[in-house]
Amino acid sequence: MFQHLLIPTDGSPSSESAARQAVALAARLGARVTALTVKPAFHVFTLRPEVVEDTRGSSWDVDLHARNHLAFVESLAAEARVPFEGVTAQGDHPWKVILETARERGCDAIAMASHGRSGLERFLVGSQTQRVLAHTPLPVIVFRER
What is the pTM assigned to this prediction? Answer: 0.84
> pLDDT tens, 109-130?
999 998 765 555 544 445 899 9
- Length of the chain as a residue count: 146
- Domains defined along the chain, listed by start: 4-144 (3.40.50.620)
> pLDDT tens, 61-88?
778 989 999 999 999 999 999 999 999 9
Query: 126, 10 in Cβ contact below 8 A?
Result: no
Three-point CA angle 27, 30, 32, nearest 5° = 80
